[in-house]
């Protein structure tokens, strides 16, 4: 009887929609950029405003210079839209980062696809910025270490550079999370194992929050070339359960690696075989 219940639960999870399987927690959610929430634009049009769905900070991300506006693209991320950055000067900017993160603990999620990886600088903050502050104190960045391949960095600066890195390839979708908690910086790329390093306080987040570039800071070449589909910032270190909930939502929505339908069906078959044996 217990086996049948487990199988029923597995099948229910298999056929449930992403939103049915995971509801994004909104407590402490200060920034939520979702390309699917952008309205009034057609494929290929410039994005002057990326609406912040986060309930705690009433400010959108904007770009008033038409020459630096990224492009809205439909059907590129598992059928979902994304915002495309040209790697030259496109970026979206918000308030100072300390409006979104007010203390040492935070959680950041980004869903991205790097079209190219061309920079491999000694200072991580000099590489392609997916999201972070203009002063170079925290963020998600990517760099090249081989043709078509590179590293995704979770970065925090507190007097020393605290870094957790994981390998990536150009042209592939990734969901990366970082969490600063209890004197450590944690990172997870897709469904991989969580990495960590010792990291101090992040109170120096005074620069503007930027998505896609570091142009307004001292690192003028740190432009990101690729697509960004979703960004979430929580002004707290999420619990393991809440972090898993957000990750499951992102994995399912954008088709990044998670337990596949085939794997779940195979598990059901094994459970049935064991029950009959």
Range of the domain at 195: 24-254
Residue at 73 is within a domain: yes
Q: Pick the residue with more confidence: 201 or 41? A: 41
User: In this structure, is residue 262 part of a structural domain?
Assistant: no
Residue 12's region, left for phi above 0, alpha for psi from -120 to 50, else beta, is: alpha
User: Is 5 part of any domain?
Assistant: no
- At 15 the pLDDT is 45
Q: Is residue 272 part of a domain?
A: no
Summarize the chain as % helix, strand, coil (round to 5). Answer: 20, 40, 40
pLDDT band at residue 214 under the 50/70/90 scheme: low
Q: Is residue 242 part of a domain?
A: yes
201 inside domain:
yes
pLDDT band at 177 (very low <50, low <70, confident <90, very high): very high
Question: What does the longest C-alpha to C-alpha distance in the chain come to?
Answer: 68
What is the phi-psi region of residue 246: left when phi exceeds 0, alpha when psi lies from -120 to 50, beta otherwise? alpha
Give residue 265's pLDDT band: very low, low, confident or very high (50, 70, 90): very low
Contacts of 11-20 spanning 24+ positions with Cβ under 8 A = 11/264, 11/268, 13/264, 14/261, 14/264, 14/265, 17/252, 18/248, 18/249, 18/252, 18/253, 19/249
**2, part of any domain:** no
For the stretch 7-23, pLDDT in tens is 444 444 444 444 444 58
Q: Is the pLDDT of residue 53 over 70?
A: yes
Which of helix, strand or coil describes residue 195? Answer: strand
Whole-number pLDDT of residue 78: 96
pTM for the complete prediction?
A: 0.85
Structure confidence by residue, pLDDT tens digits, 103-127: 899 999 999 999 999 888 888 888 8
Mean pLDDT across the chain: 85
Q: Is 72 part of a structural domain of the chain?
A: yes
Q: Which residues pair with 230 in a beta bridge?
A: 34, 111
Domain count, the chain: 1
CATH of the domain at 220: 2.60.120.200
Neighbours of 65 (CB within 10 A): 10
At 240-252, the pLDDT tens digits run 999 999 999 999 9
CA–CA separation, 157 and 207 (whole Å): 13
Residues 141-156: tens digit of each pLDDT = 999 988 889 999 999 9
């Amino acid at each position: 009887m217990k086996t049948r219940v487990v199988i029923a639960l597995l099948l229910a999870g298999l056929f449930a929609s992403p939103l049915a399987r995971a509801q994004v927690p909104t407590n402490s959610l200060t920034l939520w950029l979702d390309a699917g929430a952008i309205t009034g634009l057609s494929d290929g049009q410039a994005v002057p405003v990326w609406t912040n769905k986060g309930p705690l900070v009433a400010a959108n991300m904007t770009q008033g210079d038409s020459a630096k506006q990224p492009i809205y693209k439909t059907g590129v991320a598992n059928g979902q839209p994304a915002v495309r950055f040209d790697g030259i000067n496109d970026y979206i900017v918000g308030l100072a980062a300390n409006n979104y993160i007010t203390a040492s603990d935070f959680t950041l999620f980004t869903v991205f696809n790097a079209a190219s990886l061309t920079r491999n600088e000694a200072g991580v903050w000099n590489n392609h910025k997916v999201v972070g502050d203009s002063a170079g104190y925290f963020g998600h960045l990517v760099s090249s270490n081989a043709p078509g391949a590179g590293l995704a960095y979770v970065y925090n600066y507190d007097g020393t550079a605290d870094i957790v890195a994981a390998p990536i390839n150009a042209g592939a979708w990734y969901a990366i999370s970082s969490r600063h908690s209890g004197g450590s910086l944690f990172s997870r790329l897709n469904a991989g194992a969580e990495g960590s390093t010792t990291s101090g306080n992040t109170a120096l987040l005074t620069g503007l929050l930027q998505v896609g570039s570091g142009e307004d800071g001292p690192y003028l070449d740190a432009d990101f070339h690729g697509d960004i589909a979703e960004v979430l910032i929580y002004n707290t270190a999420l619990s393991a359960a809440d972090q898993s909930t957000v990750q499951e939502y992102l994995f399912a929505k954008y088709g990044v690696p998670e337990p596949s339908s085939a794997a779940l069906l195979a598990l059901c078959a094994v459970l049935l075989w064991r029950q009959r044996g």
